[in-house]
């Protein structure tokens, strides 16, 4: 019995366990590099290759001989997904219920980076509890069109807001000793033809709009993993694009972690090996039902290619090194602190994010509802009782409970008012109107003091079926932004018989409001507010919580007003989509081209008012110090999101009329004043010059705009740079 080949690995495991059981630390610590070197030296080529592709639905290969475990991943961005086990069949006898957090766009609407961190911490702790090493989130793709089916999972149309929220979230996850996975890199802004569409986009738009959140995730949050997107960029698949992965992500940004493909996003062995994809995931989806992990692109054919000398083994070693770095960073070899799930604290965080993410769009002196006057409350709409956790695609979760709006309203004021419910409309594949439901709701509205309509979008018609209907779901985009099932007509009819209609929407983006907006007293955007969403909505409607959410995207008056539908293409044709609008995405377009939105980026009302004063600026060697006061000039406590935009007044090229470069959220008691001081770095005044392929700061005049939204500018100053 030759003990040497057993003794060494055993010693190695002991050595690794002893040396790694400390708190999570930044990637590529020198001590780890030495351990990684020794591991790689011991590996056979087959063992190395086994690590760079999937070994099951949500794991990549380990090396048992050397004590290297598989890397275990799980979706999703707002909760740890169902327990899929190794072959996609849901494992029904595992309690996989988790905290169902509000989805990404609701988190972004809080504009509260501290909440972003706490949100990530809950996710990381629950992923640990479920035995995962990597949580596949956040999704940070820019909201380019309101039709993208996954906007509900993403954050914003603005790269700065997206970056700030992503950095907090990732730090929260990774401080739990779990790897985050920022996705989908890059320019994956539609679901239509996502697996093959070629995005034609300028480098300037990539650098200024589509890259920043990924760059911040790497440079500021030290994100441990990145997911390569399905689509092509300028002709090359993202997972086979050496400029995108080797040059930009790894060389320029200094990314030391691993780049995994999206599931089934690798299409060529040589291209993926040489372009910087470190782990091929999900190709089994394309093999179903005859799954053979050796037939992955980065499996047997990769071994053969290396053996033929067509690809140097050093290329494979770098991938293995990156995977081991992530494993050491999350202390996979040490004993990790235990996680926890479904705790009261986690559920309270879900409530807080929902309360701060719900946006009050319109309020004609009706909200908060006065329970002394609103004695007979009629709740109308399918979304008042529908649950959403299971829908949406890979971000689906199973949760212990989900408070619907009707439940939330009953829990809050059920013993002070008579609350009745009418479904009002029916969700059908044929998008039909149910006249009886509508007539019954209108009849009931005649006798109500106030009508609370809860409508909007849903996820999949049937959670098990993705990409079949035009809803907020992975795999499919919406056909338009019109309300379905006759909701428009119903809202108008309700408003004709009742003067106090409050409209609240679920959904990942705007709906056309023109048909009824002038007839209703209030409009509230609730997004998908998670398991405590109904509680949060009720707290806001009845004033227990003062709303503070702000739109992270522009709500256009009509679809064709969006630049992706007027200047650019959406969803493109013959597998190609041209981002002809360039950097003029969202408010950068609406403001510069003077197109009036229904509700603008950064808009959100409060039950109190805020005054801005004493705005001062001071420049010193290309940085600008600002200070200003905010006062709560109303009668109740509230939180205000102060936004700072920069306008380049003398640029040599066409620039957006304003760009968000800073924000902060402050909580103020009535009559309380706080002084905000900040420094804008020189980067806030730079733009990417495509001809020079670099960021430039052109001397000249800049305007600094301080506001409560992108169009509610309260004070401004000009500076010379």
Catalytic residues: 262
The reply on whether position 477 binds ligand GLC by CB under 6 A is no
- Contact between residue 169 and residue 136 where contact means Cβ atoms under 8 Å apart: no
Q: Closer to ligand GLC at the Cβ: 183 or 352?
A: 183
Q: Convert 423-441 to b/e letters by CB count within 10 Å (16 or more is b).
A: bbbebeeeeebbeebbeeb
Q: Closer to ligand GLC at the Cβ: 125 or 394?
A: 394
Q: How far is the CB of 22 from ligand GLC (least distance, A)?
A: 30
Task: Out of 117, 169, 263, 662, point to the residue binding ligand GLC (CB under 6 A).
Answer: 263
**Residues near 443 by Cβ (< 8 Å), separated by ≥ 6?**
none
Q: How far is the CB of 301 from ligand GLC (least distance, A)?
A: 23
Task: Out of 103, 109, 217, 394, point to the residue binding ligand GLC (CB under 6 A).
Answer: 394
The reply on whether position 133 binds ligand GLC by CB under 6 A is no
Q: How far is the CB of 190 from ligand GLC (least distance, A)?
A: 12
The reply on whether position 136 binds ligand GLC by CB under 6 A is yes
SS3 of 389-415: the string is: CCCCCCCCCEECCCCCHHHHHHHHHCC
Q: How far is the CB of 75 from ligand GLC (least distance, A)?
A: 5
Q: How far is the CB of 262 from ligand GLC (least distance, A)?
A: 5
Residue among 594, 487, 500, 609 nearest 548 (CA): 609
* Structure-block tokens of residue 657: 């009329």
- Contact between residue 380 and residue 461 where contact means Cβ atoms under 8 Å apart: no
Q: How far is the CB of 46 from ligand GLC (least distance, A)?
A: 26
Q: Closer to ligand GLC at the Cβ: 227 or 493?
A: 227
Q: How far is the CB of 183 from ligand GLC (least distance, A)?
A: 6
The reply on whether position 74 binds ligand GLC by CB under 6 A is no
Beta pairing partners, 627: 616, 677
Q: Closer to ligand GLC at the Cβ: 42 or 267?
A: 267
The reply on whether position 262 binds ligand GLC by CB under 6 A is yes
Q: Closer to ligand GLC at the Cβ: 154 or 687?
A: 154
Q: What is the distance between the alpha carbons of residues 547 and 525, in angstroms, rounded to a whole number?
A: 11
The reply on whether position 195 binds ligand GLC by CB under 6 A is no
Q: Closer to ligand GLC at the Cβ: 239 or 504?
A: 239
Q: Convert 498-534 to b/e letters by CB count within 10 Å (16 or more is b).
A: bebbbbbbbbbbbbbbeebbeebbbbbbbbbbbbbbb
Residues 645-674 that bind ligand GLC (CB under 6 A): none
Going along 149-301, which residue ranges are E strands?
179-185, 198-200, 225-228, 232-233, 236-237, 258-261
Q: What is the distance between the alpha carbons of residues 410 and 477, in angstroms, rounded to a whole number?
A: 34
Helix (H), strand (E) counts: the chain = 20, 28
The reply on whether position 141 binds ligand GLC by CB under 6 A is no
Dihedral-angle region of residue 339 (phi above 0 means left; psi in -120 to 50 means alpha; beta otherwise): beta
Q: Closer to ligand GLC at the Cβ: 466 or 589?
A: 466
Task: Out of 144, 183, 207, 565, point to the residue binding ligand GLC (CB under 6 A).
Answer: 183
Secondary structure class of 182 (helix, strand, coil): strand
Contact letters (x/-) for ligand GLC, 207-246, by CB under 6 A? ----------------------------------------
**Residues near 78 by Cβ (< 8 Å), separated by ≥ 6?**
100, 101, 102, 103, 104, 107, 123, 137, 153, 395, 397, 530
Number of residues that bind ligand GLC (CB under 6 A): 6
The reply on whether position 75 binds ligand GLC by CB under 6 A is yes
Binding site for ligand GLC (CB under 6 A): 75, 136, 183, 262-263, 394
């Amino acid at each position: 019995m030759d003990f040497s080949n057993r003794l060494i690995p055993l010693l190695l495991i002991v050595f690794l366990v002893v040396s790694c059981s400390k708190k999570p630390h930044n990637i590529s610590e020198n001590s780890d590099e030495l351990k990684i070197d020794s591991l790689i030296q011991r590996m056979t080529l087959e063992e190395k290759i086994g690590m760079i592709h999937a070994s099951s639905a949500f794991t990549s290969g380990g090396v048992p001989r050397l004590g290297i475990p598989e890397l275990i991943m799980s979706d999703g961005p707002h909760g740890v997904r169902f327990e899929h086990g190794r072959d996609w069949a849901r494992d029904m006898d595992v309690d996989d219920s988790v905290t169902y957090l509000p989805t990404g766009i609701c988190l972004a609407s809080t504009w509260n980076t501290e909440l972003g961190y706490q949100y990530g911490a809950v996710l990381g702790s629950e992923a640990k509890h479920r035995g995962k090493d990597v949580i596949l989130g956040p999704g940070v793709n820019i909201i380019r069109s309101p039709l993208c089916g996954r906007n509900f999972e993403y954050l914003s149309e603005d790269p700065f807001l997206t970056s700030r929220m992503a950095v907090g979230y990732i730090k929260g996850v990774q401080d739990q000793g779990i790897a985050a996975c920022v996705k989908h890199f890059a320019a994956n802004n539609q679901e239509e033809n996502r697996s093959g569409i070629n995005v034609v986009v300028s480098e300037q738009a990539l650098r200024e709009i589509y890259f920043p959140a990924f760059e911040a995730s790497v440079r500021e949050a030290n994100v441990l993993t990145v997911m390569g997107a399905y689509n092509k960029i300028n002709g090359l698949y993202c997972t086979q694009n050496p400029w995108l992965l080797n040059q930009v992500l790894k060389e320029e940004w200094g990314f030391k972690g691993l780049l995994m493909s999206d599931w089934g996003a690798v299409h060529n062995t040589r291209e993926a090996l040489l372009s910087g994809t470190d782990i091929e995931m999900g190709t089994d989806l394309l093999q179903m039902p005859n799954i053979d992990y050796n037939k992955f692109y980065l499996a047997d054919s990769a071994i053969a290619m290396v053996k033929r000398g067509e690809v140097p083994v050093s290329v494979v070693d770098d991938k293995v090194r990156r995977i081991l770095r992530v494993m050491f960073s999350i202390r996979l070899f040490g004993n990790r602190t235990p996680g926890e799930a479904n705790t009261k604290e986690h559920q309270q965080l879900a409530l807080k994010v929902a309360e701060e993410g719900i946006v009050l769009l319109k309020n004609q002196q009706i909200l908060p509802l006065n329970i002394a006057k609103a004695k007979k409350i009629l709740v109308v709409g399918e979304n008042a009782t529908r649950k959403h956790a299971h829908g949406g695609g890979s971000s689906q979760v199973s949760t212990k409970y989900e408070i619907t709006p009707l439940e939330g309203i009953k829990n809050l004021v059920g013993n002070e008012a008579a609350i009745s419910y009418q479904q009002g409309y029916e969700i059908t594949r044929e998008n039909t109107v149910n006249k009886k439901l509508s007539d019954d709701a209108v009849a009931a509205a005649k006798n109500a003091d106030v009508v609370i309509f809860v409508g909007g979008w849903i996820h999949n018609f049937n959670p098990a079926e993705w990409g079949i209907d035009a809803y907020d779901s992975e795999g499919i985009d919406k056909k338009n932004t019109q309300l379905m099932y006759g909701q428009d007509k119903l809202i108008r009819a309700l408003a004709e018989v009742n003067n106090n209609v409050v409209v609240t929407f679920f959904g990942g983006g705007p709906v056309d409001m023109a048909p009824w907006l002038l007839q209703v007293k209030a409009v509230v955007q609730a997004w998908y507010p998670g398991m405590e969403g109904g509680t949060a909505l009720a707290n806001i409607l009845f004033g227990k919580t003062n709303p503070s959410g702000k739109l992270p995207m522009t709500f256009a008056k009509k679809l064709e007003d969006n630049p992706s539908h007027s200047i650019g293409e959406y969803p493109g044709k013959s597998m190609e989509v041209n981002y002809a609008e360039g950097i003029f995405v969202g408010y950068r377009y609406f403001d510069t081209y003077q197109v009036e939105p229904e509700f603008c980026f950064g808009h959100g009302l409060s039950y109190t008012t805020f005054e801005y004063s004493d705005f001062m600026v001071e420049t010193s060697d290309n940085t600008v110090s600002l200070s200003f006061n905010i006062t709560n000039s109303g009668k109740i406590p509230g939180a205000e999101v102060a936004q700072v935009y920069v306008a380049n007044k003398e640029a040599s090229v066409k620039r957006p009329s304003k760009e968000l470069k800073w924000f902060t959220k402050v909580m103020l008691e009535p009559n309380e004043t706080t002084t905000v001081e900040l420094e804008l770095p020189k980067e806030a005044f730079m733009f990417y010059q495509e001809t020079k392929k670099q960021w430039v700061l052109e001397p000249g005049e800049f305007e600094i705009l301080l506001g409560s939204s992108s169009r509610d500018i309260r004070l401004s100053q000009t500076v010379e740079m």
